[in-house]
Amino acid sequence: MPSAPRGDASITAVARFEKALERDPGSIGARASLALALSDRVLDQMSDSATVDLARAEMLVEQALSAAPRHALAHFAKGQILRAQNRFEAAIPAYEAAVALERDWAPVLAALGHCKFLAGAIGEAIPAQEQAIRRRPRDRRIANWHWRIGMVHLLQSRTDTAVRWLEKARRLNPGLPGPRAWLASAYALQGYPQQASTELAEARRLSRDGRYASLAHHQVAQSFGEPNRSLIEQTFHAGLRRVGVPDT
Domain assignment of residue 92, yes or no? yes
**50-74 per-position pLDDT tens digit:** 999 999 999 999 999 999 999 999 9
How many domains, the chain? 2
- Domain co-membership, 98 together with 179: no
Degrees to nearest 5, angle at CA 105 with 104 and 111:
125
Domain termination residue (choose one: 84, 102, 120): 102
Structure letter (DSSP) for residue 175: T
**103-158 per-position pLDDT tens digit:** 989 999 999 999 999 999 999 999 999 999 999 999 989 999 999 999 999 999 99
As to burial, measured by CB atoms within 10 angstroms (0-12 exposed, 13-18 middle, 19+ buried), residue 164 is: middle
Total-model pTM: 0.90
The pLDDT value given to residue 199: 98
Domain range holding 229? 150-248
Helix 72-84 with 106-118: angle, nearest 10 deg: 30
CATH code assigned at 190: 1.25.40.10
Query: Residue 8 — pLDDT band, cuts 50, 70, 90?
Result: low
- State yes or no: pLDDT of 31 exceeds 60: yes
Under a CB-based contact definition with an 8 Å cutoff, are residues 175 and 206 in contact?
A: yes
**145-173 per-position pLDDT tens digit:** 999 999 999 999 999 999 999 999 999 99
Distance between CA 201 and CA 119 in Å, rounded?
A: 30
H/E stretch holding 154 = helix 142-155
